[in-house]
Amino acid sequence: MNDHTALLNRIRQVSALAPFNQWMDLRVEHAEAGQVILRLDWRDDFAQYNGHLHAALIGGLIDTACGFAAGTVAGNVTASQFSVRCLRPAVARTFRVTGRVVKAGKRQVFASATLGDWDDENGEPFAVGDAVLVPLPERAG
């Protein structure tokens, strides 16, 4: 097993621990040091009143992608702050969320994420965001 496969499996295991991610059926498609790509297929119960992806889910996806990206370089982390900018209505059959580490320090990890259409990787994003994450001690057991 190579390093990328081991890292991908570790991030997938972390994702499986979160009931929210299980409810969404969020999939970790790619993980390498400093970057993750997540995939989410559209379901009608994700919609807000106009039929777009609900902003609460957009925030959760941005937070998760930033956290997973940070986790690839810092291990167990938690968000101390995050922000989201919705740029246009999020409508797609499948969403791509790409998280990247901007800077990793000992006490803080700065990350960013972009939410877009899985089938239009280079298209205009639906939303972007940033997070500051704090490394935590590894949990025992």
DSSP readout, 19-77? HHHHHHT-EEEEEETTEEEEEEE--GGGB-TTSSBPHHHHHHHHHHHHHHHHHHHHSSE
Which residue type, as a one-letter code, is found at position 26?
A: L
Question: For 35-49, what is each residue's pLDDT tens digit?
Answer: 999 999 999 999 999
Contact call for residues 133 and 67 (beta carbons, < 8 A): yes
Per cent of the chain over pLDDT 70 is 97
Q: Tell me, what's the pLDDT at 122? A: 86
What is the set of domains in the chain, with CATH numbers? Answer: 3-135 (3.10.129.10)
pTM of the model: 0.95
Task: Tell me the pLDDT band of 137, cut-offs 50, 70 and 90.
Answer: confident
**What is the arrangement of strands in the sheet containing 109-117, beginning at the earlier edge strand?**
27-32, 35-41, 94-104, 109-117, 127-135, 77-86
Question: For 72-95, what is each residue's pLDDT tens digit?
Answer: 999 999 999 999 999 999 999 999
How far apart are the C-alpha atoms of 123 and 134, rounded to whole Å? 31
Q: Tell me, what's the pLDDT at 139? A: 67
The end-to-end CA distance of the chain, in Å, is: 24
